[in-house]
Amino acid sequence: MKKHKLLIGGEWVDPQSGDWFESVNPFTAAPWALIPRGSKPDIDRAVAAARTAFYRSDWRGLTATARGAMLRRLADLIAAEAGRLSEIESTDNGKLIAEMRSQLNYIPQWFNYFGGLADKIEGRVIPIDKPGVFNFTREEPLGVIAAITPWNSPLMLAAWKLAPALAAGNTVVWKPSEFSSVSALVFGELFESAGFPPGVVNIVTGYGSEVGEPLITHPHVAKVAFTGGDKTGEHVYQLAAKGIKKITLELGGKSANIVFDDANLDDAVKGVVSGIFAATGQTCIAGSRALIQRSIHDQFIDRLLDLAKTARMGNPLDASTQVGPVTTRPQYEKVLDYIRIAKDEGAECRLGGAPATRPECGTGWFVEPTIFAGVKPEMRIAQEEVFGPVLSVIPFDDEDEAVRIANDTIYGLAAGVWTTSIRRALSMSERLEAGTVWINTYRAVSYMSPFGGYKRSGIGRENGMEAIREYLQTKSVWIDIAGNVPNPFVMR
């Protein structure tokens, strides 16, 4: 098993603890790599390196154009390594190689787009209301950014943070999930080749309490960019609040995929299946509630079952596999717990509802694609994020009821609407309380389009022009051009 190292100040180093822990392949449930167990002393060194790099002239003194070019060089290196990185991700977190390849081939676009934005960060000249004064604004980087990422799309969700943070001129300490650190550490090799000065990006692996907390609370960290569960997010927010730190949080959801009776049902069935069974349901945007108009409810469920039954489970490294294992043992147990809860609550299990024991699933953590019908909006299975291949089907009568049920959750990350009516599409896109609304499609994201949550799904936006503002602060500069100092006892 390869024993990995931490990236601190441009050097590959052992953790101060002298400890490593195993990263487990979810398809075999066997360890395959050793991850450094970082702790506070490593964070102290990494933040110090990032802070030094932030002020050093080989980063701070770069023109924005040169900084952007560096990001674009990184994009080219990622593209060249996409095959290797996607195999590592798939082995480490069990997501399908087909999905990981497409993510890795797409990730360079984040560095191209934000690399392109680097030299378009402009201040404003304000036509100020006071005579004899010139006033303008500067958009400046924040300093050291703490990037804390989860296991479900390890590099993609890191790119969403690193690309805008670096484009804006910040430096970064990145803590990947303890369940999926290998790809981050291999990715780390590319920064030096792309020309980033030492310390601009540092990677410290380990557990949330041992690495994440000292990182968030470090006095020299200016901002925390976090993706993870909402309970952890709440804790992270509290820790960051103590230091009055800036924050973005992306915390998952309970997204509704709403099918009206005027929809193209072939497309809608595929959309609902892709919303919940793609990536084994382990995505923040999972369409885990299918709201189906009552007039088509029964026939829609039949069609859903027909398609979901055909899902091929197995080795995520096999390009024909459609549903892979659950990534972590605790997550596997959580999903099975929710299946039990749903059954106890009286939901009707129409498909799956158990661990998958098919021979092609080997010793991995597999759960059968599961569909519950007769789900009531107030049930826990309809309110809480499962983060697995478990769909709750809820009937509704009309648009008002669909909106009421869809919005009746603490989350607000995404929603899907299936309809052929343009009036309904526009009206629903306005009425749904979600950061993303998809009409007649699902699970589309881009580096260009803002992404983030309403309500408990998060704070701030990733991707698009909105994202770079999350890593900048505005300074207002006042210059006297009149040459006379007015009455010093009166505000100018």
| Distance of alpha carbon 285 from alpha carbon 283, whole angstroms | 5
Annotated catalytic residue: which of 99, 178, 210, 284? 284
Q: Determine if 434 is a binding residue for ligand TXE (CB under 6 A).
A: no
Task: Pick the closer one to ligand TXE by CB: 199 or 388.
Answer: 388
> Which of 272, 264, 250 has its CA nearest to residue 442?
272
Q: Determine if 23 is a binding residue for ligand TXE (CB under 6 A).
A: no
Write each residue from 240 to 269 as x if it is in contact with ligand TXE (CB under 6 A), else as -, in one continuous string.
----------xxx-----------------
Q: Determine if 275 is a binding residue for ligand TXE (CB under 6 A).
A: no
- We find the least distance from the C-beta atom of residue 362 to ligand TXE, in angstroms, to be 23
- Tokens 């007039």 correspond to what residue? 295
User: Which listed residue (171, 331, 436, 463) binds ligand TXE by CB under 6 A?
Assistant: 331
> Which of 413, 330, 314 has its CA nearest to residue 369?
314
Is residue 367 within 8 Å of 338, Cβ to Cβ?
no
**What SS3 state is found at 313?**
strand
Q: Determine if 228 is a binding residue for ligand TXE (CB under 6 A).
A: yes
Annotated catalytic residue: which of 99, 178, 210, 250? 250
Q: Determine if 92 is a binding residue for ligand TXE (CB under 6 A).
A: no
Could you tell me the two tokens for 24? 């487990």
Task: Pick the closer one to ligand TXE by CB: 70 or 286.
Answer: 286
- Tokens 């749904």 correspond to what residue? 432
CA distances from 474 to 40, 124, 136, 141, 166 (A): 32, 10, 10, 9, 17
- We find the least distance from the C-beta atom of residue 64 to ligand TXE, in angstroms, to be 30
Residues in Cβ contact with 214 at an 8 Å cutoff, skipping those fewer than 6 apart:
39, 40, 43, 44
Write each residue from 113 to 152 as x if it is in contact with ligand TXE (CB under 6 A), else as -, in one continuous string.
-----------------------------------xxxxx
Tell me the pairing of strands 30-36 and 20-25.
Answer: antiparallel
Task: Pick the closer one to ligand TXE by CB: 81 or 210.
Answer: 210
Q: Determine if 284 is a binding residue for ligand TXE (CB under 6 A).
A: yes
> Which of 149, 225, 204, 260 has its CA nearest to residue 467?
225
Is residue 71 within 8 Å of 113, Cβ to Cβ?
no
Write each residue from 334 to 363 as x if it is in contact with ligand TXE (CB under 6 A), else as -, in one continuous string.
x-----------------------------
**How many CA atoms are closer than 13 Å to the CA of 314, on its beta-carbon side?**
12
Q: Determine if 208 is a binding residue for ligand TXE (CB under 6 A).
A: yes
- Does residue 250 have an active-site annotation? yes
Residue 170 C-alpha from the chain's centroid:
20
- Stretch binding ligand TXE (CB under 6 A), from 118-126, 232-240, 268-276, 443-451: 232-240
Question: Catalytic residue positions?
Answer: 250, 284
Where do contacts with ligand TXE occur on this chain (CB under 6 A)?
A: 148-152, 175, 177-178, 207-209, 212-213, 216, 227-229, 232, 235-236, 250-252, 284, 331, 334, 385, 387
